Structure 1
Amino acid sequence: MISNFKNHINTRFSFLKEKKLLVAVSGGIDSVVLTHLLYQLKQPIAIAHCNFNLRGTESDSDSEFVNTLAGDLGITHFSTSFETEKIAKEKGISIQMAARDLRYEWFEKIRIQEKFDYILTAHNKDDVLETLLINLTRGTGLKGLTGIPEINGVIVRPLLKYSREEILHFAKKNKILWQEDSSNASTKYIRNKLRHDVIPVLKELNPNLMDALNNTLNHLNGSKEIINKAVEDFCKTAVTKKGKVTEISISHLTELENPKPYLFEILSSYGFSEWDDVSNMIHGQTGKFVLSKTHRLLKNREHLQLTKLENNNKKQSFQIHSLDQFKTDEFEIIFTRVLEKNTINNISVDISKLIFPLTIRRWRNGDYFYPSGMLGKKKVSKFFKDEKLSLIEKENAWILENGNQDIIWIVNLRPDRRFELSKEKKDFVQISFSLH
């Protein structure tokens, strides 16, 4: 296998030569074999190990084993420990997902700090089959059926062409020791159930299953390239980014014979699953929306607007006690005594009419003001409707309020005429607002 692996590196991963590599090592057979293979090729490597504290003393034993492995080979060793169950509960995600996020975030941190060029993981051909079957049972698109990528940015997986059987044969032949994860024997996890109960039956039905998998993946990846090109061309004219909002043109969607696959390819990475509801929005009413766990897709007249769901705990109101610069994580307000022409981002007001503390807050139902350039008063909700603001724009609107609760400014939209300067313009302050 060493000769075959050397040729594989030379032909498929020649860019790794002389590069500084960080190898993710759990202590299991795959990552230990990868470490030995790279070491025998005299490739500059270090190893990184995460203790997720999920298997008690067994987890600690894995850490000790990896530490010993690094010492025996004389290579640099990085290690860390996570309270994975606690973090998963805090984030409201599965333990497996939490462990995945934690390890890749930590690997990337080490890579940047220590100036490694690439991170190598030991996924093999059997992992590809298991992942494909998992995605198939959950419902997926073409991307979910095309396996695990060999190269994904700085993540490289040089063992994907090798089966678990080939790796095991190499380890036994070379008397390589590794740690057995007892949880791999349990079928309570879907991956293990497939590994122990389903895949053996598939291999019995087709002894050449892994070769068939390779052929299938080659065909699917070829089809994916065609689809990716079509979606990329569509996005060039139909998808635009405006700050935190991504807009998809409905007129461009309706020109397609079947827009649903395009929406799936564009939006699948944002966690949406109700694809009939998503595609029905094309002909739905303005204001209709579909939610995923992380994002919202909103119909707003001629566009579908994609936004990330904001943290509901974000502060919605701030008090300003003086005419000093005021800054938050979201915006900045500057007060100056230089009179300039009003623009969308700044207004000039009569300073004698200000009552401190001022308040900058989100708008509320029932708010009203006296719009500059108009007679009488107007509800803010009616003003938003007349201005044809989308739901997203309404949610992001800020109100600058006087100490007596009179509205001074619907920020970056319309000032209140009660605070306009007199003709003499004797005592004024200019207020500027900008988002970060």
Structure 2
Amino acid sequence: MSSSRNHIDYWIACSGGADSVVLVRLFKELGKSFGILHCNFKLRGNDSDEDENFVRNLAAEIKVPLKVKNFDVQKYIKMNGGNTQLAARNLRYEWFDEIKSKLEANIVLGHHKDDQIETFFLQLRRGGKLKGLSGMPKNRANYLRPLLDYTKGEIYNLAKINSWFWREDVSNKKSDYLRNLYRNELIPAFEDVESIKNQAIDLIEGFQSLLLLTEQYLTDQYDFSKELKVSFAKWDLMPYWMKHILLSKSELFPISVKEVERLRTSEKGKSLKTQSKAIWNEGDGFLIVNSSDKTLDFNCEIDLIRVEEVIFEEGIVFIDKDKVKGALSIRKWEKGESFYPLGMLEQKKVSKFLRDRKVDSSKKRSHFVIVDDSNQIVGVLKMCPDNRFKIDEDSSWAYRVKYLS
């Protein structure tokens, strides 16, 4: 992240609770350049507004910038589904991502060791994989959690010693939400609870190390910034959790490993798509590409020349002018369309022709056909003319169709 005299390096998410207030106070003590972010979800009536007022007063007292955003959680749920906690989390992080990107800053969160332990047990209950059981990282994608090594008790004690006041969220005392149930009832019910917590932290740290090693291994094996090919032989040898991380690093979420396993046993040419990515079954492996790669921009040059000027070169298609109706143009081919490939007396579907030419399934739709004014296919761009429209010994004039880029 860039840093200058007036640039704010850190934005601290502050609810008004003890953990985030301590974080704000510590950053002030350390002389850091920071601002405060506050989310008002309007879920607790007057208490929500009092939390906002508290944070506003805190920012004014220590003279740091403040950004406050109000959210309509119920509207979000109606539009996107989910529950209150999930909706609030998504709204919060969408805003944080926007701040992080626009202001080129780090987002600092007040999660502590007890939050980490609760997250671990929640993930365990949900059948979480390696990434979930690794918990929250201290530093990832410019999200910082500097309090993860400290317990809630240690943070409260620090606040009390320094007379740092905070707001208490009384809803945290209720076990209505699953996290609160674990926090208030289930985890405290363990015999020798401190020993259980320490074991959980040891497991989390072990999973984090394994996650880092796995991500490094996959980064060494594959270039995720480019088109990605994964052979079935390699895929079949990967443990489930490694497949999950591969899909995550390939930006294929929310496609699951189970869905890709089904794709693995489907016929060649089948695919799964997200808004930005697609994964294709290529017969001997998977091909992962940008969804946008399937609609390529192109630049094409169509000239009318005498047949005597024809010089056959790879990628240039020649069409007899007198055999076509009107001018030529280029368009994407449609499913089910056929033509007569050069040298053939029988029709072949464009899709079958491209497959016979060993064109990857993911790239078929990025090929274009040449058509005349009647929309008749007279050739396939970069490949060949339709046999009925080729130049021959009786031809006088030809269209030269050259793909430029």
Q: TM-score, normalised by structure 1?
A: 0.72
Q: Report the CA distance between 1:274 and its aligned residue.
A: 5.0
How many residues are treated as equivalent by the alignment?
388
Written as runs of structure 1 = structure 2, the 5 A alignment for 1:265-280 is: 265-267=245-247, 270-273=253-256, 275=258, 278=260
In 2, Cα distance between the equivalents of 1:105 and 1:76?
Answer: 20
Partner of 1:39: 28
Written as runs of structure 1 = structure 2, the 5 A alignment for 1:116-135 is: 116=105, 118-135=106-123
Q: Report the CA distance between 1:290 and its aligned residue.
A: 8.0
Q: Report the CA distance between 1:49 and its aligned residue.
A: 2.2
Q: Could you say what secondary structure the match of 2:194 adopts?
A: coil
Segment drifting more, 42-51 vs 400-409: 400-409
Q: Could you say what secondary structure the match of 1:360 adopts?
A: strand
Letter of the structure 1 residue corresponding to residue 232 of structure 2? I
Written as runs of structure 1 = structure 2, the 5 A alignment for 1:244-255 is: 245-253=227-235
> Is residue 360 of structure 1 aligned with residue 326 of structure 2?
no
In 2, Cα distance between the equivalents of 1:399 and 1:384?
Answer: 11
In 2, Cα distance between the equivalents of 1:192 and 1:304?
Answer: 42
Flag the 1:241–1:205 CA change in 2: closer, same or farther, 3 A.
closer
In 2, Cα distance between the equivalents of 1:27 and 1:408?
Answer: 70
Q: Report the CA distance between 1:89 and its aligned residue.
A: 4.5
Are the counterparts in 2 of residues 297 and 306 from structure 1 also a CA contact under 8 Å? Answer: yes
> Is residue 207 of structure 1 aligned with residue 207 of structure 2?
no
Flag the 1:413–1:101 CA change in 2: closer, same or farther, 3 A.
farther
Partner of 2:308: none
Written as runs of structure 1 = structure 2, the 5 A alignment for 1:66-81 is: 66-81=55-70
Partner of 2:243: 263
Are the counterparts in 1 of residues 244 and 257 from structure 2 also a CA contact under 8 Å? Answer: no
Segment drifting more, 57-66 vs 86-95: 86-95
CA offset digits 1:357-411 (Å, max 9, x no partner): 957345222x111223433432224324433445434455554544423124445
Q: Report the CA distance between 1:165 and its aligned residue.
A: 1.9
User: Alpha carbon RMSD of aligned pairs, Å?
Assistant: 4.0
In 2, Cα distance between the equivalents of 1:119 and 1:376?
Answer: 64
Out of 218, 227, 236, the position equivalent to 2:205 is 218
Letter of the structure 2 residue corresponding to residue 331 of structure 1? D
Partner of 1:149: 137
Which consecutive unaligned segments of at least 5 residues does structure 1 have? 1-14, 311-315, 317-328
Out of 5, 24, 34, the position equivalent to 2:13 is 24
Which consecutive unaligned segments of at least 5 residues does structure 2 have? 306-310
Partner of 1:301: 283
Partner of 1:325: none
Partner of 1:383: 353
In 1, Cα distance between the equivalents of 2:88 and 2:314?
Answer: 50
> Is residue 374 of structure 1 aligned with residue 374 of structure 2?
no
Letter of the structure 2 residue corresponding to residue 49 of structure 1? H
In 1, Cα distance between the equivalents of 2:68 and 2:22?
Answer: 19
Q: Could you say what secondary structure the match of 2:15 adopts?
A: coil
Partner of 2:403: 432
Flag the 1:398–1:288 CA change in 2: closer, same or farther, 3 A.
closer
Flag the 1:132–1:368 CA change in 2: closer, same or farther, 3 A.
same
Partner of 2:154: 166
CA offset digits 1:37-76 (Å, max 9, x no partner): 1112222211122334444554444333322221111111
Flag the 1:377–1:199 CA change in 2: closer, same or farther, 3 A.
same
Are the counterparts in 2 of residues 362 and 396 from structure 1 also a CA contact under 8 Å? Answer: no
Identity %: 28
Q: Could you say what secondary structure the match of 2:57 adopts?
A: helix
Q: Report the CA distance between 1:124 and its aligned residue.
A: 0.8
In 1, Cα distance between the equivalents of 2:207 and 2:41?
Answer: 35
Out of 153, 163, 166, the position equivalent to 1:175 is 163
Flag the 1:250–1:76 CA change in 2: closer, same or farther, 3 A.
same
In 2, Cα distance between the equivalents of 1:359 and 1:188?
Answer: 61
Q: TM-score, normalised by structure 2?
A: 0.77
Flag the 1:260–1:171 CA change in 2: closer, same or farther, 3 A.
closer
Flag the 1:223–1:399 CA change in 2: closer, same or farther, 3 A.
same
Q: Report the CA distance between 1:199 and its aligned residue.
A: 1.6
Letter of the structure 2 residue corresponding to residue 143 of structure 1? K
Q: Could you say what secondary structure the match of 1:375 adopts?
A: coil
Letter of the structure 2 residue corresponding to residue 71 of structure 1? A
Are the counterparts in 1 of residues 270 and 281 from structure 2 also a CA contact under 8 Å? Answer: yes
Flag the 1:303–1:418 CA change in 2: closer, same or farther, 3 A.
same
